[in-house]
Homo-oligomer: A and B are copies of this chain.
């Protein structure tokens, strides 16, 4: 490819709305172009990477006996009514009416399509296990797209679905996919990725793992025990309760005035935060009547994912206007109201001497003894794990890191096969709903994650396995006849063995070298009047910066070694 013809321009300026390294560099190096908020066109260099990643994914899926199919993007409502997800999924799913007035949707995921495909085709136990997958465009109307290709509305995804006759068989296959995923992320060149237990979210099912690239710009929090290897997404992470016990006291109402937050109240009363009870209010989605009040120890944070699972319902921010609750003074003692659902965190079990709101403007209550003063049926773990809390497995301190989710795998159980009525006949003549697993990888997010992990202050750095081109052929001073001729010859001969991006522009050496670093092609080959006087070319490795002078006649051999 001659760079003069390449559709993809290199830009000096940092785009004003770009927030993270991969986004800035992918735009600046001419890899992607924004079409609309969260919607991008992949320019030729990015599409070349995308195809290579897709090919690696395909090979690993095929190695797991995966069969590639293509489901439709647009599906009819009826299919999704069967699983109940037409109603249960929110605004992120695009719904529209077709010209005949039928309700249609854009598939965000294809469990329904997978079951509908296999129904009446996979009918007998001896056809199982089987796995089908596709690589296809998905659209999710994300509320907050961000960070370039990391969180977008439209993306290319590999999604796979497996069917099994027993939990053991699923478990066994799931472990193989787990290994396959490790291979995929290694082969595309990621290094600092881990797998963590995660929430099953809108997929349902009992068991899931996420693959996470550890990076400070990640939007997920991951709890890690360096000692025993425990790893979990914050959404499901647990820690050993760090008990704090205070002396029992009598209940007493105290004037706290403008002190409303935990910080203000604990400072005013000169107590540690752990001696207070934090109240956080939520609305239930689709329920305008009730208010959920979550009570946790004052030094802890509510984990909304856990709270959702306790409630079995989706929650949202609550506007307290007209709820009867006194903002800043909500407390668990004597909290009245038919429309209030309280949930208590395990950290409060057995606590005494605590401070809570008095449900009365400007007052709090001290000396709360949960067992004595509040009727609590059950305590639940509804808090986030904090840095330094003890590992529930080994008791050593946990750390919290940030990560980008690069893939996920789910044990779905029979949620979809049961609701959609898919059965297979068993050896004994009975029939059963097959047990499913599903497995996703976002291709565009992989591109961004690789960029995020490997790029340096000079620009992108691509591993050979997915690089858009292998070699950046860079003649300096190609107004010099000998340089120009040598470069043209090298372009022809090297292109027979490698993918070559040829910088045939008549611009300064500085511009060319800077652009080659920005674009991140693994190997740069420079020929210049000076190098040619020695009959040599200069090879520079983008990742390490290592430079090697090579005789032209040895160039191809050297490049073969470097690009192996």
A interface residues with partner B (beta carbon < 8 Å): 1, 4-9, 30, 33, 35-36, 39-44, 46-48, 50-51, 65, 67-76, 79, 91-92, 94-96, 98-99, 104, 106, 113, 116-118, 120-123, 126-127, 130, 132, 134, 136-137, 139, 141, 143, 153-154, 156
Closest to A42 in B: B70
Output the least CB separation between A348 and chain B (Å). 37
Q: Is A74 within 8 A of B39, CB to CB? A: yes
Q: Which residue in B7, B35, B40, B137 is a CB contact (below 8 Å) of A121? A: B7
- CB-CB under 8 A from A113, the residues of chain B are 35, 41
Output the least CB separation between A475 and chain B (Å). 17
Q: Which residue in B7, B9, B75 is a CB contact (below 8 Å) of A132? A: B7
Q: Is A96 within 8 A of B94, CB to CB? A: yes
- CB-CB under 8 A from A8, the residues of chain B are 121
Closest to A92 in B: B99
Supply 9 further A-B pairs (C-beta < 8 A) apart from A41-B117, A70-B156, A95-B96.
A5-B67, A9-B123, A30-B121, A35-B71, A35-B72, A35-B76, A36-B76, A72-B154, A92-B99
The 9 tightest CB contacts between A and B, nearest first, are A44-B67, A96-B96, A42-B70, A91-B99, A36-B76, A9-B121, A39-B72, A99-B141, A47-B68
Given A42-B70, A68-B51, A35-B153 contact (CB < 8 Å): no
- CB-CB under 8 A from A137, the residues of chain B are 73, 136-137
**Complex alpha-carbon distance, A141 and B153, angstroms:** 22
Output the least CB separation between A440 and chain B (Å). 18
- CB-CB under 8 A from A132, the residues of chain B are 7, 44
- CB-CB under 8 A from A71, the residues of chain B are 35, 41
- CB-CB under 8 A from A154, the residues of chain B are 72-74
Q: Which residue in B7, B48, B51 is a CB contact (below 8 Å) of A117? A: B7
- CB-CB under 8 A from A73, the residues of chain B are 73, 137, 139, 154
Q: Is B68 within 8 A of A41, CB to CB? A: no
Q: Which of A51, A67, A117, A143 lies at the interface centre, i.e. has the most chain B CB atoms within 10 A of its CB?
A: A67
**Complex alpha-carbon distance, A33 and B117, angstroms:** 7
- CB-CB under 8 A from A9, the residues of chain B are 120-121, 123
**Complex alpha-carbon distance, A104 and B71, angstroms:** 22
Closest to A102 in B: B36
Output the least CB separation between A54 and chain B (Å). 11
Closest to A68 in B: B47
- CB-CB under 8 A from A139, the residues of chain B are 73-74
Q: Which residue in B35, B91, B98, B141 is a CB contact (below 8 Å) of A141? A: B98
Closest to A119 in B: B33
Q: Which residue in B39, B75, B99, B143 is a CB contact (below 8 Å) of A143? A: B99
Q: Which of A48, A79, A94 lies at the interface centre, i.e. has the most chain B CB atoms within 10 A of its CB?
A: A94
- CB-CB under 8 A from A46, the residues of chain B are 70
Q: Is A40 within 8 A of B98, CB to CB? A: no
Output the least CB separation between A282 and chain B (Å). 21
6 residue pairs of the A-B complex, CB under 8 angstroms, read: A5-B65, A8-B121, A9-B120, A30-B121, A47-B70, A73-B139
